[in-house]
Amino acid sequence: MRRSFDFERAVRGGARAGRSTVVVHLTREPERADGPLIGLVVSKAVGNAVHRNLVKRRLRGAAATPARDLPADALVVLRALPAAATADYGRLERDVDRGIHKALARATERR
């Protein structure tokens, strides 16, 4: 996901699931079915540029597996919390997986 418009639609109009290291925003758009899009938000609250880039790389890796289970019309935003900077990869992976599945269940209920 690259356009701010897509980020805004997912964050404002989607279901939200919070974990200790990440908040997942997910919305479904039936008119767009070209595969799930995943965007990352890692603010300066997470740390300096080195820490933010490390968190981004870990989040991309952690989102790869649950992304296979997402429907083609899903827009997902993963917003890293400051705790993500000190969390190990296993914890990030669990939080992302559980957050995505919980947000997907909530978004499906709304439909």
- Asked if residue 67 lies in contact with residue 36, where contact means CB atoms within 8 angstroms, the answer is yes
63-93 per-position pLDDT tens digit: 999 999 899 999 999 999 999 999 999 999 9
Residues 21-71: tens digit of each pLDDT: 999 999 998 887 788 999 999 999 999 999 999 999 999 999 999 999 899
Name the pTM for this structure.
0.92
Look-up of token digits 């997902």: 76
pLDDT at residue 111, as a whole number: 64
CB 88 within 8 A of CB 95: no
pLDDT at 33: 76
CATH of the domain at 30: 3.30.230.10
Q: How large a percentage of the chain has pLDDT more than 90? A: 76
Domain that holds residue 8: 4-110
Nearest to 5 by CA among 24, 29, 34: 29
Tally of domains within the chain: 1
Judge contact between 25 and 15, C-beta under 8 A: yes
